[in-house]
Structure 1
Amino acid sequence: MFDYSIIGGGIVGLSVAYALQQKQPEARIQIIEKESEVACHQTGNNSGVIHSGIYYKPGSFKARFAKAGSESMRKFCLEHDLAIDICGKVIVATEEKELEHLHALYQRGLDNGLHVQLLTKEELVDIEPHVNGIAGIRVPTAGIVNYKQVSETLATLFIRAGGTLTLAEEVRSIKEHHDQVIVQTDQKTYYTQYVINCAGLHSDRIANLAGYHLDMKIIPFRGEYYKLKPEKRYLVNHLIYPVPDPNFPFLGVHFTRMINGEVDAGPNAVLSFKREGYKKTDLNVKDLAETLGYRGFWKIASKYMQKGMEEMRRSYSKKLFVASLQKLIPAVKEDDLIPASSGVRAQGLTVNGELVDDFHIVTGKRSLHVCNAPSPAATAALEIGKEVSKRMERLAQVKVL
């Protein structure tokens, strides 16, 4: 019998385990992961950015947890001798029409308690000489790390503290009873006091298995990247982002320095035909049928039809992809880019066609379900872990009463 069974061995699930062990060192904790190692999906296929929280609504979980998480992630990496670089970010306005949104973003950064700096064209060019910009924002607390390495360290600490890491088992059934939860995988049956769902791309399905039918569904969006050839990496000093289009819910293509010295360019945002579909050719009939059969998908598709088509065209045209990048750095040419690996974002979508804008945690009878944790979840993971640990304490107290 376990005290807690955590479903999902990505950075969020591992951070929840870490927080629980910090607060309850005697607790019997299990992580169940369907892959043969941790951090195989969103965690292991992202840009490695430590986000500042500048984009998010003041007071939201994303804003608060990203700000606190950037600091707790930095401290964790330093404590465990993990490579980290707080290189900073610049957000660049390339046209006059973007200045209003740039200044609104600057104000949001101030509202979120961030140290941000408005840059004139001259100040921007001084720190990013190859950028085509008329103004910008510098966010010094943004950085880069390898979240796969962070996750592997969390897994090592978890096991060392007595935790049970169950790999290569997929959860098939969850039955909540008044005194325990029975979790059936494709191999074994486990008995536990509480279940914590951190299943990322499958979090809605795990919630459904436990009997909780949400007013949202996970829709997978693939982000495709290129890499700058080594001889062109000098073009990028910081993380370089555009001013987000207020009429589109994604950030747009940008340049990301990686902790291994590489520079990624991207991503676009296209519908994935498989929840774990990292290639254009990946297709899962069940996953696609769920998406296409969901009323909320067609509502958002009609709302962003033009933008969505632009993203699709860019997915199949390197020339168009490069043209988007050249708005930020005109010196980038097609020959400067080589294909890089893609990632898939687990984005919650309501039946009304609205993207779930914040982290979304659902409380059950003997379970908690982290049902919407896309970017900046990796940055915020340690803070999400603390929040889930607090909620589990409250849930346990209710059960005792």
Structure 2
Amino acid sequence: MENRNLDVAIVGGGISGSALSYMLSKYSDVKTIGILEKYETLSPLNSNARANSQTLHCGDIETNYTLEKAKLVKKQANMVVHFADQVEKNDFLYKFPKMILAVGDEECERLEKRHHDFAEDFPYMELWDADKIAEVEPAVALKDGKPRPEKILASGCTNEYSAVNYGNMSKALIAEARKGSANLKVSLSTQVQNIRKTVEGYELDTNQGTFKAKFVVVSAGGHSLLLANQVGYGLDMSILPMAGSFYYVPKMLNGKVYTMQNDKLPFAALHGDPDLVELSKTRIGPTALVLPKLERYTGGTYLDFWKSLKLDRKVIKVFWDLMKDKTIRNYIFRNFAFEIPWLRRRLFAKDVQKFLPDVKPQDLEYASGIGGLRPQVIDKTTMQLKLGEASIVPENENLIFNMTPSPGATTCLGNAYRDAKIVCERLGVPIKRQKIVDDLLGGEDLPD
């Protein structure tokens, strides 16, 4: 990378960093942008298709969302759809049937109420009885070839975008960013080790030498907090890395089947998905496991975890409060058991049978090397686990640290739009806000 003097340095070449480079290059007057990625490829970790559930979260089948959150997420998800319409080759966005499945009288009653509450904002969602479910997903509605005995109900659709290969989308974003007005440089195998404030901006020390930037945006997962701590920010935060594992069964589902969320649990409910990179299989998960590292399937990062955890009585109190709740405690212990080779298939099969009643333990294959690691933030001031998005945006500094998007990569363009507005305001350069609204938001802006 020849030009080491940048207007904006983006640390991390995953979906978040790629989306911001696209937003700034196409829709602002920022002149030079550099992406610094420590691995040899773009989207090597959580944005890779093998590291996430490949879902375009629209708020329609996620029962842990309030209506207000679902409406916002829908707008951000539609930005991905509008982007796909603009690219010459869309090899990342797909349509599959999708549904929320309710099992038993109590869940069916809750789902029916939710469906009607959400109907105005999600008019394409239909309420399906057992017969309709059997048409769309026979393996869900039938047990031993006959209608299953429990009452089942679903809220679903068959012709909406539902799946994304975010690794491929990252590459498309970079390709489109290169067509923009900015000079975009991507530096791979470049690990940022330190950020220093200078009179003119910031210096980033890397294994490939020093880069200078007027503005720095760090979108490096759990490592974002470490870099923030180096310059004195985020010291009241701690990281709890949650790993999600998956299982494969032979292809049994035609689309995405989500189950009703237990409101007491802060983690995603079990679901089944088509796998975009293993087309002959259905992927089921995720399990939830705390791992003492910041990256799932790479060597090291254990020491980085302990630095980010900053273990003290406040962090211990958060863990203690979580473990005091019987529902959460049992969930955590059960998910630990899912990692025990001789036990996990039998235990997991019982959970899977809620939406695939014919599944047997021998049908399940542990998806080795599949699944990512999502950093959850502990707020040491309030002594609470904060689920969802976490960012640090210091006042009067040209710095942003993004630790985890919410919900997942779906909001990459929405978050990029938010960050781009901050970058442009603080650098004093124009942003083409109305063009973003017209191109990516269907004419309706996101709330500030």
> TM-score band, normalised by the shorter chain?
0.7 to 0.9
Distance 1:48 1:80, change over 3 A: farther
- Cα distance in structure 2, aligned partners of 1:110 and 1:354: 33
The code of the aligned residue for 2:410 comes to: T
The code of the aligned residue for 1:48 comes to: Q
Moved more, 178-187 or 263-272: 178-187
Do 1:65 and 1:380's aligned partners in 2 also have CA atoms closer than 8 Å? no
Q: Name the count of aligned residue pairs.
A: 390
1:290 CA displacement: 5.0
Determine which of 151, 154, 160 is the counterpart of 2:170. 151
The CA deviation string for residues 163-187 of structure 1, in whole angstroms up to 9 with x for no partner, is: 1112112222212345411212233
Q: Which residue does 1:350 correspond to in 2?
A: 379
Secondary structure, counterpart of 1:70 in structure 2? helix
Distance 1:35 1:142, change over 3 A: same
Q: Which residue does 1:264 correspond to in 2?
A: 283
Do 1:348 and 1:356's aligned partners in 2 also have CA atoms closer than 8 Å? yes
Determine which of 314, 331, 334 is the counterpart of 1:310. 334
1:221 CA displacement: 0.9
Do 2:195 and 2:231's aligned partners in 1 also have CA atoms closer than 8 Å? yes
Superposed, which structure 2 residues align to 1:166-315 within 5 Å?
166-177=187-198, 179-229=200-250, 233=251, 235-260=252-277, 261=279, 262-278=281-297, 284-287=302-305, 291=309, 293=311, 294-295=315-316, 296-303=318-325, 304-315=328-339
Distance 1:210 1:292, change over 3 A: closer
Q: Which residue does 1:138 correspond to in 2?
A: 156
The code of the aligned residue for 2:223 comes to: H
Determine which of 28, 42, 46 is the counterpart of 1:42. 46
Do 2:76 and 2:411's aligned partners in 1 also have CA atoms closer than 8 Å? yes
Distance 1:392 1:33, change over 3 A: same
Structure 2 residue runs without a partner (length 5+): 142-150, 430-448
1:136 CA displacement: 1.4
- Cα distance in structure 2, aligned partners of 1:354 and 1:257: 35
Determine which of 410, 416, 432 is the counterpart of 1:379. 410
- TM-score computed with the length of structure 1 as normaliser: 0.88
1:392 partnered with 2:414: no
1:273 CA displacement: 2.3
Do 1:12 and 1:377's aligned partners in 2 also have CA atoms closer than 8 Å? no
Distance 1:20 1:314, change over 3 A: same
The code of the aligned residue for 1:90 comes to: M
Q: Which residue does 1:121 correspond to in 2?
A: 130
Moved more, 310-319 or 75-84: 75-84
Secondary structure, counterpart of 2:241 in structure 1? strand
- Cα distance in structure 2, aligned partners of 1:250 and 1:345: 11
- Cα distance in structure 1, aligned partners of 2:339 and 2:16: 29
The CA deviation string for residues 72-113 of structure 1, in whole angstroms up to 9 with x for no partner, is: 222333423223322131111112232344245435644765
Structure 1 residue runs without a partner (length 5+): none
1:191 CA displacement: 1.1
- Cα distance in structure 2, aligned partners of 1:322 and 1:67: 32
Secondary structure, counterpart of 2:351 in structure 1? helix
Do 2:19 and 2:412's aligned partners in 1 also have CA atoms closer than 8 Å? yes
The code of the aligned residue for 2:89 comes to: D
1:82 partnered with 2:82: no
The CA deviation string for residues 113-147 of structure 1, in whole angstroms up to 9 with x for no partner, is: 56432222333223222214611111554511211
- Cα distance in structure 2, aligned partners of 1:318 and 1:135: 27
- Cα distance in structure 2, aligned partners of 1:297 and 1:163: 43
1:53 partnered with 2:59: yes
Do 2:377 and 2:386's aligned partners in 1 also have CA atoms closer than 8 Å? yes
1:297 CA displacement: 3.7
Moved more, 324-333 or 8-17: 324-333
Moved more, 281-290 or 201-210: 281-290
1:363 partnered with 2:390: no
Distance 1:108 1:24, change over 3 A: same
1:16 partnered with 2:20: yes
Q: Which residue does 1:339 correspond to in 2?
A: 366
Identity %, equivalent residues = 24
Do 1:300 and 1:354's aligned partners in 2 also have CA atoms closer than 8 Å? no
Secondary structure, counterpart of 1:90 in structure 2? strand
Distance 1:178 1:99, change over 3 A: farther
Secondary structure, counterpart of 1:394 in structure 2? helix
Do 2:26 and 2:177's aligned partners in 1 also have CA atoms closer than 8 Å? no
What is the CA RMSD across the aligned residues, in angstroms?
2.7
Do 1:53 and 1:109's aligned partners in 2 also have CA atoms closer than 8 Å? no
Q: Which residue does 1:71 correspond to in 2?
A: 78
Do 1:199 and 1:206's aligned partners in 2 also have CA atoms closer than 8 Å? no
